[in-house]
Amino acid sequence: MELATWLKKENENFPILGLDSFNTFLKVCSEFAEWALDDIGLANRSNSYKIWTCKIKADKIKDVKNIIERYSSMKLLLHYYNINIVENNNIALYIKLDWEENKWVISYGITNNKKLFKIGEFDFNISTKLPEHKILKYINDEIDDFNPREHLMLFRIKQDAFLFDPGYCQITDPQIIDKEIIISTYNLGQWTDQGIVNGETEKYLDIFKDWVKNQKWWAQVHLIIRPRKNKWMDFILKLK
C-alpha cells in the first residue's frame, strides 16, 4: 500500500475533533506549559491570523507520548506525533484563530514549527464559550469581547501589509500586537549615532500615507511611524 493511501486510511479512523474535546486538549497543553503564547513567526509562516503555542521543552519530550496516551480522545494527536514529529527541538501544541470560508474558526493540534497538524476545530463567534482554563490567559486577553468585524479588518490589513515597500532596507513580516498592525524596518533611510536624521521620519511618513491611500481600508486607520534605537523603525496601522 502506498504511503499516501495508508495515511489517508489511518486518518479516517480518527475524525477531526470539535469544541467538546478542546478542554481535553488544553489539559494536555498544561502538562508542558503554563500559558499558550502568541507565536507571530509561526502565524506568518503558515499565513494564519493568530497562533498561540505551548512549546514542549527538551527535557519533556520523553514524556509526550505517555501523556497523550492518557486521553482516549487524543488518538489523532498521538497519530500525528508518531508519524510526523521528527524534529524534537521544535515541538509545540498550537491553537489557531483564522478566517476560513467566511467565518472565524479556532483549530488546534501539534506542530514541528513548520507545518500544522490539525486534530480539532470549531466555529468561533461572540456566543462561543471557551473552557475556563488558565492556559488560555493571553488568548482571552486578545479575544475578550470579540468583535468579528474588527478582527476581520485587522486580518485583511495584515494581508495587504505584506506588500508595503518603503524602500531599500530589511523589513519584517506584519505583526498584529494589541490590535495594531506593525511593520518593522532596519537600516531604512539615513541615520547617525544619535538616531534618525532630521526630516527622514517625515519623508517615510509621506511614503506610508501614499501607500495607505491606495488601500480599500485607508479611512479606517491611523498611521504612526516610530523610530527606535539601532536603526530600527516601526510603521504602525491602528484601527480608528
Over residues 196-222, the pLDDT tens digits come to 999 999 999 999 999 999 999 999 999
The 10s digit of each residue's pLDDT in 120-165 is 999 999 899 999 999 999 999 888 878 889 999 999 999 999 999 9
Domain segments of the chain as ranges: 3-143, 154-239
Provide the angle, in degrees to the nearest 10, between the axes of the packed helices 3-12 and 75-84: 160
Q: What is the DSSP letter of 219?
A: G
First to last CA, the chain: 57
Enter the pTM of the model.
Answer: 0.83
β-bridge pairing 170-171 and 175-177: unpaired
- Residue 202 class from Cβ within 10 Å (0-12 exposed, 13-18 middle, 19+ buried)? exposed
What is 154-239's CATH topology? Threonyl-tRNA Synthetase; Chain A, domain 2 (3.30.980)
Report the sign of the C-alpha dihedral through residues 132, 135, 136, 141, in that order: positive
Phi, psi (deg, nearest 5) at residue 155: -60, -45
